[in-house]
Each structure stands twice: as C-alpha cells, then as structure tokens.
Structure 1
Amino acid sequence: MRALLSGAVAGALSAGALRLLRGRPPGGATTWDRTNHAGRTVTLLEGPAYAVGAAGGAALLGAGPAPVVAAVSAAGLGALDDLAGDSSSKGLKGHLGALARGEVTTGAVKILGLGLTGLVSAALVDRSARSARSARRLAFADGVGRGGAIPSAVDTLVGGAVIAGSANLLNLLDLRPGRALKVTILLGALTATSPRSATAAGAAVGAAAGLLRPDLAGEAMLGDTGANSAGALLGTALVQRTGRRGRCVALAVLCGLTLASEKVSFTRVIESTPGLRELDALGRR
C-alpha cells in the first residue's frame, strides 16, 4: 500500500513539475534543449521534474532521509554535467583518464560526487536500521520482539558503491526514448516487494510513470539529472532491503555491466535481442 501511495504522489508531482518547468524554464528553454539520437530537439527539463517527483513522493510518505538525499544529490550532480559538461571525455574510462592527466571534467566531479553522496545515503540507511534493531532488541528483552544483525562499516561501504553504481548505470541506459524510465519501473517494482524499501521504490516507479508519455513521444528526456536521480533512488531502495550478501551481489553485477559498457553498446545488444528489442520499442513513436 505504501508503494502505491508514494508512487501516486510521485507520479502526480513529476508530471506537474514538468508542466510548470516547461512553462517557465529556468534560464530559458534553449538552456535545456538538446538534440536526441533521431535529430529531434528535446528538453532536459524532464530530469529536474523526475527528481522533484521522486524525492517529494519519498519524503511525503516517510521513506526516510536516505532516499531523498540520494535522489536530490544525484540530480544536482547530473545537472552539473547536463548544463556545464562537454563531450571531450566520455565514459568512466574517459573521465578517470582525464583526471589522471590533471584535467578535472564535470564527469569526473560527478563520479566522485556520486561516490560520496552514495556513501552518505547508505550510512543514513544503516543508521536507521541500527536504531530500529536496537529498539527491537530492547523489546525482546521485555518479551515483545527480537533483533537482527546490525549493519557494519563494510556493509555501508558496499551499499554506498551500489547506490553510486546504480546512478551511473541508469545514465548509461538513457539513450533511447523511454528506455531508462522502463528500466526504472521494472526494477522499482521488483525492489518494492519489501516493506523496508516499498516507499522509496514506489516513488521511483511513480515518478517514472508520470513522465513516460512525453519521454516516449520524443519530447523530453531524463538527461544526467533525471537518470542519475532515478538510479540513485533505486540503489538506495535496494540497500534498504538487503544485507551484505545482497549488496555484494548487486555491486558485482553493477561493476560487470559498467565495465562491459566500455566495450559493448547496450543499444546494439538490445536491438539484436528478441524480447528486449520489442520491450524497448514498446510505446515509442
């Protein structure tokens, strides 16, 4: 129920925010206009609208501070790359390579920033878990309940990497209309099956659903602002529902996909795979 409520609130907020932003775009419409893969002009204002809807839905339905911090901070770092970045360096390898040469790109700032804010978000998740489990242990001492394993510093470190990696992965998928939003909806629906993560995951799904129509129509796109925000929120929801084993598995998958993206085109793989190809094109004009 909490997932449905947070999703409904997030969807309404994101759709409303996009309408308001398109009516009065900060800095003017051309600041946010970009050319997509098909040569059409689209607006990046969908990204800020997603962050507003997702963070608002999570906050209003009591998801805790971690999902809000993750969604908002990742959106801010993504906006830096959207508005001030250049295309001289691309991908994780390109930005880290430039940093090794002494060149500080906006992409490198974003990568380092996502690592730091991911760690902060994971620490907030685990602090809440420690408090809740301490309360249950006290209740058990009174014969009312029982406690569980308390997250360690290693758990928090892995969780922070999962959140940062999720933010980066969603950005890698935002290359065709609707793709990143569909992935957000699918992964968010799976993550929402636990009471611990239902509110945050529901907000991620709802905000994505509220923006799916203009995205599929090729009118707007998430950009780094929205894709990083969506990925960070999904990663935080995953951290909320998993312990060390689940986080380690998630991190291994994220690392594998990120490294693969340096060598393999996700778009080429999707378009050559039956099932994925049809799902990717579903609803797209």
Structure 2
Amino acid sequence: MRWSRTNHRGEPISLLEGPAVAVGLVCGVAAAGRSRKTVALALATGGAAVFGVIDDLAEDTSERSKGLRGHLRAARQGRLTTGGLKVLGIGASGLVAAALLVERDLGAVRRAVDVLADGALVAASANLVNLLDLRPGRALKSSGLAAAALGISGSPHALAVVGAASSAWSADLAEQDMLGDCGANAVGALLGAATVSSVSRPVRRLVLVVVLGLTAASERVSFSRIIAETPWLERLDMIGRRPLDPQEQTLGNGTA
C-alpha cells in the first residue's frame, strides 16, 4: 500500500499521520495572523510537506541511495532520486522563507549571507527531524521540547508544533501511524523557520552548526544505538512506548 510502511518491528504502519500533521501545522501558523513572517513560515512548512510526501509515495524502496551522502552520490552518477529532489525542493523553499524573514536594513552582502545561512537552517532542521522519525514518538518528543523552548523565547508560531505533537502523540506511540517524510520534514522546517524568525543571529548560527553536526554524525553512527546505550536517553525514548523486543535490545535498538 502506498500509504503504508514496515516499521522497526516488521509490522505495517500508516503514513497518513504525516499529511494530517502538516495541514495542522500550516493552519496553526496561519492562525497567528497575516504578516510576512506568517507567509514565510507557512511556505517553509508547506514546501517541506509537499516534497516530503513525494518522497513518501514515489520513493523506490529498493534504492540503495539512502541518506544525504547516498543522494549526492546518485546525483554525481546522473540520477535524481526522490530523496535528492526533496533536498533540492526543501532547500529552495527554505531559501525563499529566509529571504522573506531577513532584516531589511542590511547591506546586500550581509543579506545574502543571512539568506543562505538561514535557508540552510530551515532545510537542515527538516532533515534532522526526519532522521529522528525512526522509532515511535521520538521525533514528536524532541520537536515538542524544541517548540516549547521557542515558544518561551517569543515564537507563537512554534506552538503549532506542540499542538500537532499532542494530536498525533497517542497513535504514533501506539505504532499505528508515523510522521513519514511529509510530517517530519514539515515539523522540522517549521522549527527551523521559527528559529530564524525569533532568535538572534549568533544563536541561529550556533543552532545551524549543531544541526549540521548531528546530520553529519548520522552518516557514520546510529542515533538509535547511541540512545539505547545511554540510560537517560533510553528512558526518555521509551516513555509511552511498547516494550522492546528481545532482538531489539540485543541489537542496541536497531541500526538505523
């Protein structure tokens, strides 16, 4: 089935949570009022959702080009994977959103630097949340905490993530639904755009370095294994979840 995947237990799981969450996020952003900031955040979120759902529905699951490095390798070989298209599409929508959010009184060079760096933050955040959507509730928990922090720092738009996470929480933890690329990319893009719109330039650069560092690390190490081998992270990861199968415990909660 196009809207179904096999999860880490080998069981079927629905992808319909993703579009539902994405629509909820865009509506939540729009409810904050008409402004350039609202348009920028809705564009970043909607763009990430659209290119994410293309990857969800058209991805060749037999394709070996997994991860950012795999998609870049495929591009060098003259092949554009759905994941590669997603990288380009989310990157483009992130740049447009950043251009709408950039300060108007800056010089041309500084504006260009800000647009490139902030656009990269939007796209990289979308990718990072997607990397976390490998176990039930993991992406929602981390995104909800990040959104709450952004809300405290003065971003009402980020609170849309808290609402979406709350609505999807039970089905996600019950392993009935998952965000998929559509939902995870939309959540991450909104978090990235909300960061751009609500925190200072030095903080944005620091967040970009952290997000890019985690993304690079994911190409070499398994987040799931690190979480399984770190007791306090594993406790957080298991809140609300079904107990692990013996095989999962033996393998360090998987290799993804």
2:236 counterpart of 1:279: yes
Q: How does 1:131-280 map to 2 (within 5 A)?
A: 152-195=111-154, 197=155, 199-280=156-237
Distance in 2 between the 1:270 and 1:283 partners?
16
* Unaligned segments of structure 2, at least 5 residues: 243-256
* Unaligned segments of structure 1, at least 5 residues: 1-29, 135-150
Deviation for aligned residue 1:152: 2.4
Identical pairs, percent = 53
Matched letter for residue 55 of structure 1:
V
User: Which residue in 2 is equivalent to 1:73?
Assistant: 47
2:19 counterpart of 1:48: yes
User: Which residue in 2 is equivalent to 1:60?
Assistant: 31
2:8 counterpart of 1:32: no
Distance in 2 between the 1:194 and 1:244 partners?
14
Deviation for aligned residue 1:81: 0.6
Deviation for aligned residue 1:240: 0.7
The 3-state SS of whatever aligns with 1:284 is coil
Distance in 2 between the 1:177 and 1:245 partners?
33
Matched letter for residue 128 of structure 2:
L
User: Which residue in 1 is equivalent to 2:252?
Assistant: none
Deviation for aligned residue 1:243: 3.0
2:87 counterpart of 1:98: no
Matched-pair contact (CA < 8 Å) for 1:155–1:243: no
Matched-pair contact (CA < 8 Å) for 1:174–1:180: yes
Matched letter for residue 46 of structure 1:
E
Distance in 2 between the 1:252 and 1:31 partners?
36
User: Which residue in 1 is equivalent to 2:251?
Assistant: none
Deviation for aligned residue 1:208: 1.1
Deviation for aligned residue 1:154: 1.4
Distance in 2 between the 1:156 and 1:193 partners?
25
Matched-pair contact (CA < 8 Å) for 2:29–2:160: yes
TM-score normalised by L of structure 1 = 0.79
Matched letter for residue 160 of structure 2:
A
The 3-state SS of whatever aligns with 2:73 is helix
The 3-state SS of whatever aligns with 1:220 is coil
The 3-state SS of whatever aligns with 1:64 is helix
> Which runs of 4 or more aligned residues in structure 1 lie more than 6 Å from their structure 2 counterparts after TM superposition?
none
Q: Deviations over 1:48-93 (max 9, x none)?
A: 0010111101101226111111111100000011000123110000
2:88 counterpart of 1:112: yes
Distance in 2 between the 1:252 and 1:42 partners?
34
Deviation for aligned residue 1:268: 0.3
Distance in 2 between the 1:156 and 1:51 partners?
24
The 3-state SS of whatever aligns with 2:152 is coil
Q: Deviations over 1:180-222 (max 9, x none)?
A: 0001101111111233x2x211001111111000000000000
Matched-pair contact (CA < 8 Å) for 1:35–1:42: yes
Matched-pair contact (CA < 8 Å) for 2:153–2:199: no
Matched-pair contact (CA < 8 Å) for 1:115–1:164: yes
